[in-house]
Structure 1
């Protein structure tokens, strides 16, 4: 065998020098050829750009164990080996020998950590198959012992490789290399200790079995019939041996069968004895059961008799009507001193009736004659008591209200406002609250008439209190009447509107709400619980906005609790019932209906004194309305909603009347200067902003929108009556609108929107007016400029001087007509601008706009002349600016 490069000591030392510093030791080094070869259709392998390389297998030195590497070394220009590629053998997944290579020396190595698949993997070609087997065997041994796994081998038989190793590597010296998983045996050849392979891939025992199997396989091919005869003879011999062994055990089997027979006889005797004992025990058990049955029947009969006596005693107790309760239910008095007895009688009657119902009474007793008769008797007692109690309570409610109405000290009188006080009335009603609870449990239908009587009686009292309070409130309020004519032009623009203080009007309305809205809510809450409606708990009494408490109402916190939540603790468990809530609201309508007329009277009275106070009253009403959330106060919310609507309607009347006053200005022909309603609107808006309270911002903003829209429309109509002075008229009025509303527009978004709208209209009017003045004085040159501009869209500038009316001579005539005595023309332009203005403060800003507009137009004219008539000379823009500056 030719000497392999694996035996080259110089090559190994060169490899050690190349990887020096990596703490790795070279186990095997071989010279190979690297290529990316392809195979043609003729199965002839063609190497493309084969390069010499050296493959070296190394392991990590002690300190970092369990690592093995495959180094690819290349030759530098000086012939020195240097590292070119490094692979970790733990990532080696496949070794494939290319079978199409006739020599069998070319193979591929696949690594599972290589991501790039765009380039074909390199092919390694050995010098001979011995070098190939040496390298692959070394790789497999290192992978198995160092890394614990073997890569997939394709194209070569592992057993064939093991046989090759056994033949070519005869003597081995085992040395110990300490790795992380323990000592690993490494086989080194006798000729050189440089090539290392692991212990044999196939053990000695496995090899012997394989040889025996192969020998048998060869024999079967040549002597099939002899082998078959041999197997048959062996099978017959085995069967004969088995039969002989069975016959030898016959005496033992006989002995066992005799033992089984004797045991069977004993079992039969025992079974007979057990049958006899079982019959005797059954007879004894039957006797015992009969005795126990007789004893159980006697005991059951005794227990049942005792239970029956107890149950009859309970039933008799239920059927007994105490004489004191019977007397109280049929003819007792309903005076306050006797109410405790009446309540006790009601409680007994309710309990007795419930005790005779099926849920609490055994159904077997329900059809007994005694039970039916007693139930009929209790029903008569219930009907009599409910009728008597209903008549008494109806008369009692009416008498309480009649007594209060007959006493004038309960109501407001001349010179004295009196807050309604129902504490005594509720205290007296509370005495019978428990009675109403029991009446509801006895007969729910009886509450309907009682509720109507209570509502009709108390409605008279509430309406009388509201009427007297409202009359005295209006009589005691001193406020001078504010004029309703705000924007009338006949009043004169210089005349100021009266600034009389009318705050007492809105204070009176607030006092009316402060006194009566909590009272109505309290009455609704008291009625809902007193008359046993199953509705949620209402807001506590006096729950009104803090800002609306007057001195008359500050002592309300000292009142006792007007609710009756302590009447029945079980009432808190009642859920919200839609039918109950509808019935409650219907009763509340009867209780409070009619009282709204007195509120309306206060609103109408306040509107007549000062219509702008509708803004304050609207805000006050909104705050009260937002505070009423309880379902049982539905009528109070409806009342506040109606008040809010009435206030809005009244204020709308005022806005409509003011708009009619603005529209009347349209009838006056030839108006000059600032219209009277513009400064008056600023005064009106200032006062309206002072009256805004709460959420009445929307009401005022809607009024602003309507006012200003009518103002601007009327202004435009008046301006159209005299088109000659329309622009002067518009710019003066829009300027006055901006000046008068400048401060308010900074804080009121709605007015800011109209302020910007007026500003745009002012700028447009200014532009039109200034253009007319400029064209009036300098018509010739600017008309000439416009004709030139129109022609430039269709023809070139060089052709324009040859057009009719646009020659150089025509240009000179226009210049002479307009610019001769330019100072006088400018002075005339200033006088014309000054002549038509009635607001002298606008003149400086208008004159500045006029000069700027004139210079822009003249600059455009000069540029056209320079472009179309380059040989003509005209006054420069700077000269014109100097003329204007001298004015």
Structure 2
């Protein structure tokens, strides 16, 4: 506790001119134990102020802080709780009652005792002490202290001095000489008074006897005063001298201040000059590179890049206030503007020349690709132009108009170049594709021959307005002559396939077509991706901006860059989609089953392009063309279904299986070969559903009823109760009535009659075989009818729904049909 008391005195009370007299460690009664210290203090200055101060440790616990203080004169009562027993609790009654619990009873008693003493000495209004032991309270104060408290004569108390040892010995000696000093104080005092008078007289006599010495002393004092006057005179002169020195020092100080201001201004001026020199000075080498640097060599291009970047930094430097008024700065800015404009013109003219020069070189290579189904590679042009990518970025940041003009020039030039290359490329592809429809011996797909001129006219019409290769007409005529005797049917069908076995199929043409179509897509894909990558890099239109670019631009600039890339690619390759659609139309016209190959190939390339970049021009274009291919595929399937519905069987063809059923089997084998592991397998499965339904629709009457009840049985198999099937939306009572309404007795009889005719056409002429088959079909229809009635009774109980014909009607239909034939 002593160490704490010392620390509190040093850190808290000494800085406030207070003395710490007593301390007690307490916490509030009835609450969580948060310890603090109550301190009794007095000020060191008069009038003395007595306080009770609450001190608490800081939250970090590394120092103490003063939290609250009360004046002792505001204390009304001290309650010690119990005077006879040790109890650490006590209350202090100020403006409100503060209840405390001391860490020990001894600290509490010591603190209360100190409060009592301070109250007795310094306060007129006495504090009431309740439940305090009398031993702690002093019953009376010393006389001097009492007088001090009563009369307030604190100065007299403070001036009192104790006797020293010699004075005590003298008084004791006098008291020993006078034996009555203690018994008769008055006589002793009178004796001392007489002796004091004798001593005073002797002192006066001694003083008068020393008059001569006094005169000498006075003379010395006069001399001293004279010397003082002399010294004062010298001091005055010294003061005058110092005054002049002060004035000179003031002048020197003023001069030093002006010198310091001048030095400060010089430093600031030097800093400004250094700033302008560092950030607005362009080296002679950079100026020479901008004015006459070689833009055709790698070394010259690098020098121009460094010079242009340095120029841009000088032009974009953030000038300080007032710099724009400096003439040298204006001149330098004018120089920078001239250099920028001069270099921008040189760069634009040079790049325009590069476009033209490279274009001539590229055009001279076209003849090498005429005989092959390949597209010219532009990587040399891209590689040469990419050396200027940083200069294009500089042009974009400094001369936006020239940058955009150069972009338009490049797009216009490349559009013409690519249009010529792509049309020539597709011309070769169409010639090779048309050559797949060659004459084949025993080819069951071959139909009526077409004239050479008709094939030529058809092929040229599919080419559109594209330019022709040199010699393409003669090549096309030669192919037309080769295929003039026999050409493939315009639309292969399941009926054709049903007339042959799988071994009779001539798949060579389709395989060749598949390779040609794959070659076309394989050539277009790297061409488009390479050009888009070049445009993005060369014109600084990155498809995937960095996170910093997105945050700085809030997403607006990256979106605009993507739009610019898309617009440039659409312009450069504006003929690709048209040529692809024309090629697809030609392939579909040669053989409608080519749409199966094209759907698989095109889907695969779309999927590949989307994995590389979903927003690329290639992905978008192939996706658009894929819609056309899918439409042709759907048209092919619809055509097969239509041919099934319109089939006419010759009476001479007496076979046991309908031709389109066998044809569907052949179609499935071909389709499975094409769609094996393909992404568009789902399209084939949907086509299967349509074709199979068409097969069944053209083989068996009551197909819709059968399909409906197959759905009902499927729901029951999935766990739906039979009496709850009617609550299914697709199988409610209304839907059942619609299906039953489609099969009135008249329509059923008509369907059975058509079925009898088909059976009669495809069976041998033995009458007994026809009767056996017809009777078996009758039994099957009756069994099916009963099955339907049972499902209606179980799944639609109480609905009153029945078929529009009965078993008796069905027997009558079968009998009358057999008799009529």
TM-score range for the pair, normalised by the shorter chain length: 0.3 to 0.5
**TM-score, normalising length from structure 2?**
0.47
